[in-house]
Amino acid sequence: MPAFFSMISATLRRILRQLHLWSALIFGLILLLAGLTGSVLAWRHELDALLNPALMTVQPPPSVQICDQRCQATSIAWLSQQSGYGPPSMVSLPLHADQAMVAWYKLPSSESGLPRQRQVMLDPYRQQILGERIWGEAGWHSAQWMPGIFALHRYLLLGDTGKTIMAVSGLVLAFSSLLGLMLWLPRRSLTAWRRALSVHWRGSTHALLYSLHKSSGALVTVVLVMLGITGCYFNQPGWFAGILPDKPVAASKEKRGKEKEKEPVPVWNTGDIQHWLQNAQQAYPQGRITRLQLPASASGKAELRVLQAAEPRLHEGNTRISYSLKEQRISAIKDPQLASGAEAVVSWFYPLHSGEAFGLAGKTLISISGIALNFLVLSGLFLWWKRRKPRR
């Protein structure tokens, strides 16, 4: 009987090893791109400011700590009145005194189906336009590096087709990582566990790579599984219907588009914009308003994003406030700290995927995991090729 179970176990291990191998052979290049671009995007905001200081940073006036609501509202209203610009669809508000304000304008998708938006960087203290770029396009200029890396990571530069490929690749990453963990799991003894986690040289590059492949894979498996599942959800949330809530972005975009067709977008004045900001601030006195989505019509809604102190999404927060222009009041609030069940789980997906959830340590872990994924794919393919050569 023990011999029978041993034979079944050996057969199962061969099947698992083949599945683990073929997932790397088929999706290896895509996983390499995902790991490399993901490691960079964990530091997207920092790298963008470092590469493009004239575009992303401003010099605040002396004794000014931050651009307040009056300053922000004045700048948005000023930009809305400029020829060639008009009212933006959304504005990213600075969290720090030396950050530029970013206005977003929707553009038609590219020929490959990539969604595009025009980003206009603004000095909010002086009402000066610092420059602009297209988010969703790759380019050789440093201003287009982060948009290009993001488009490659999310869409493979292929639009909806790329999103689907990346979603499948996310599932493959999670599945292959779990297969690797099953193949790695040692017997129930301290010596076996010590061997499984140790790195061996034994006078052979092959032995060194093999032990590094197993040990590093075991250490980052949990992170890779999380990255695979969350990445799949971001690209194809409908695949998780009945398990996780769908994101309500698509419906609200369609509604705003219909409103925009019915009546022209008005040019909002400073008082209107400041009123929306003040209402959101009164709802969350200790929060920071990070984003304002302007109404698409005079009867529409302003949507504001607020960052609360205890939220894991550190750059923008995930608290959403809708202000109804028709009713002249806040009509809805979506607070992730009050969410429960699957909704609470989903609210952690982006901060975990990006590394924001744990600040510097989280971003470092995501970058290391992306680099480890590249090593695992390359070392696994190299070990397979070396074993294949003698047979040939």
**Residue 262 — pLDDT band, cuts 50, 70, 90?**
low
pLDDT digits 0-9 by tens, 135-180: 999 999 999 999 999 999 999 999 999 999 999 999 999 999 999 8
**Residue 188 — pLDDT band, cuts 50, 70, 90?**
low
Domain count, the chain: 3
Q: Is residue 136 part of a domain?
A: yes
Q: Is residue 383 part of a domain?
A: yes
C-beta atoms surrounding 389 within 10 Å: 8
Same domain, 8 and 59: no
Same domain, 286 and 238: no
**Residue 203 — pLDDT band, cuts 50, 70, 90?**
low
Same domain, 80 and 124: yes
pLDDT digits 0-9 by tens, 274-293: 999 999 999 999 999 999 99
**Residue 191 — pLDDT band, cuts 50, 70, 90?**
low
Same domain, 126 and 70: yes
Predicted pLDDT at 282: 94
Same domain, 297 and 206: no
Q: Report CA-CA distances (Å) from 276 to 73, 204, 285, 303.
A: 9, 66, 14, 9
Q: What is the mean pLDDT of residues 259-270?
A: 69
Q: Report CA-CA distances (Å) from 383 to 15, 200, 205, 209.
A: 18, 15, 10, 8
Is 50 exceeded by the pLDDT of residue 248?
no
Residue 257's domain comprises 249-354
CATH of residue 329's domain is 3.10.450
Predicted pLDDT at 251: 35
Q: CA-to-CA distance for 362 and 208, rounded, in angstroms?
A: 29
Same domain, 229 and 288: no
Terminal-residue alpha carbon distance, the chain? 37
Q: Is residue 314 part of a domain?
A: yes
Q: Is residue 169 part of a domain?
A: no
pLDDT digits 0-9 by tens, 72-84: 999 999 999 999 9
- pTM summary value: 0.88
Same domain, 50 and 135: yes
C-beta atoms surrounding 247 within 10 Å: 14
pLDDT digits 0-9 by tens, 304-352: 999 998 899 988 999 999 999 989 999 999 999 888 888 889 999 999 9
Q: Is residue 364 part of a domain?
A: no
123, two tokens: 């000095």
Predicted pLDDT at 244: 82
**CA 349: distance to chain centroid?**
9
Is the Cβ–Cβ distance between 28 and 69 less than 8 Å? no
**Residue 265 — pLDDT band, cuts 50, 70, 90?**
confident
Residues whose CB is less than 8 angstroms from the CB of residue 313 and which lie 6 or more positions away in sequence, other chains included:
307, 336, 350, 351, 356, 357
Same domain, 62 and 138: yes
Same domain, 150 and 111: yes
Same domain, 6 and 88: no
Same domain, 54 and 117: yes
Q: Is residue 165 part of a domain?
A: no
Same domain, 14 and 110: no
By CB atoms closer than 10 A (0-12, 13-18, 19+), residue 349 is: buried
Q: Is residue 23 part of a domain?
A: yes
Q: Is residue 130 part of a domain?
A: yes
